[in-house]
Structure 1
Amino acid sequence: MIRFAGIQMLVGADKLSNLNKATELVSKAAKAGAKLVSLPECFNCPYGNQYFAEYAEKIPDGQSYNHLKMLALEHEIHLIGGTIPEECDGNLYNTSLVFSPDGELIAKHRKVHLFDIDIPGKIKFKESDTLCPGSSITTFNVNEFTVGLGICYDIRFPEQAHIMRDQGAHIMIYPGAFNMTTGPVYFELLNRARAVDNQVYCSSIAPATDNTATYTSWGHSLICAPTGVVVDSALHDEQIVYCDMSMREIQDIREGIPTSKQKRSDIYKLVHVQK
Structure 2
Amino acid sequence: MKVRNTLNNNLAAAATAIHKAAKQKPAFIALPEYFSVPNNMEQFTSAEKISRETYAETLCFLEKTSRELEEIYLLGGTVLEEAEGKFYNTSTLWLNGKLIGKYRKINPIKIELDAGVSRGDKPAVYETMHCKVGMLICADMFDSATVRAVVDLGAELVFLPVAAMGTHPHVKGHPLTEKLATENGIYVVKVGNVSSNARGGRSAFITPWGIAQEATDEVKDSVMTMDLDMQKLREYQKNLKKPA
TM-score, normalised on structure 1? 0.79
Distance 1:58 1:221, change over 3 A: same
Instruction: Indicate conservation of the 8 Å contact 1:207/1:217, yes or no.
Output: no
The Cα shift of 1:187 comes to: 6.6
Structure 2 runs not aligned, ≥5 long: none
Residue 20 (structure 1) aligns with: 12
Aligned to 1:90: 85
Letter in 2 for 1:87: E
- How big is each residue's C-alpha offset from its partner over 1:178-215, in whole Å with a ceiling of 9 and x where there is no partner? 4344452377111101111210001211113335xxxx
Secondary structure of the 1:242 match is coil
Quick one: distance in 2 between partners of 1:12 and 1:53? 20
Alpha-carbon displacement from aligned partner over 1:247-272 (angstroms, at most 9, x marks no partner): 1111121223326x89xxxxxxxxxx
CA distance in 2, matches of 1:52, 1:186: 31
The Cα shift of 1:217 comes to 5.6
Specify whether residues 183 and 97 from structure 1 end up closer, same or farther in structure 2 by C-alpha distance, changes over 3 A only. Answer: farther
Report the number of matched residues. Answer: 237
Aligned residue runs from structure 1 range 166-245, under 5 A: 166-182=152-168, 184-185=170-171, 188-210=174-196, 218-227=200-209, 229-235=210-216, 236=218, 237-245=220-228
Verify the 8 A CA contact 2:204 2:213 in the aligned structure 1.
yes
Q: 1:14 to 1:55 in 2, by over 3 A?
A: same
Q: Where does residue 97 of structure 2 map in the other structure?
A: 103
Matched-pair contact (CA < 8 Å) for 1:57–1:63: no
Note the C-alpha offset of 1:57. Answer: 4.7
- Output the aligned Cα RMSD: 2.3
* Distance 1:132-1:186 versus aligned 2 partners, 3 A rule: farther
Contact 1:110 1:136 in 2 (8 A): yes
Q: CA deviation at 1:63?
A: 1.2
Contact 1:177/1:217, CA 8 A, preserved across alignment: no
Distance 1:209 1:183, change over 3 A: farther
Q: Which of 105, 128, 136 lines up with 2:113 in the alignment?
A: 128
Alignment of 1:35-184 (within 5 A): 35-45=27-37, 46=39, 47=41, 48-50=43-45, 52-57=47-52, 62-76=56-70, 77-100=72-95, 102-116=96-110, 126-129=111-114, 130-182=116-168, 184=170
Q: Which amino acid aligns with 2:3?
A: V
Q: 1:169 to 1:31 in 2, by over 3 A?
A: same
One-letter code of the match for 1:246? Answer: D
Q: Matches of 2:150 and 2:172 in 1, distance apart?
A: 21
**Does the CA-based 8 Å contact 1:219-1:234 persist in structure 2?**
no
Query: Could you list the runs of 5+ residues in structure 1 that have no partner in the other structure?
Result: 1-8, 117-125, 263-275
Matched, 1:248 2:231: yes
Look up the equivalent residue of 1:157 and give its one-letter code: D
Q: Distance in 2 between matches of 1:128 and 1:168?
A: 29
Describe the SS at the equivalent of 1:257: helix
Whole-angstrom CA distance in 1 between matches of 2:146 and 2:50: 28
Q: Secondary structure at the match of 1:50?
A: coil
Report the Cα offset of residue 222 of structure 1.
Answer: 0.5
The structure-2 alpha-carbon separation of the partners of 1:255 and 1:88, relative to structure 1 and needing over 3 Å to count, comes to: closer
CA contact (8 A) 1:162 1:198 kept: no
Question: What is the rounded CA distance, in whole Å, between the counterparts of 1:32 and 1:57 in structure 2?
Answer: 35
1:21 counterpart SS class: helix
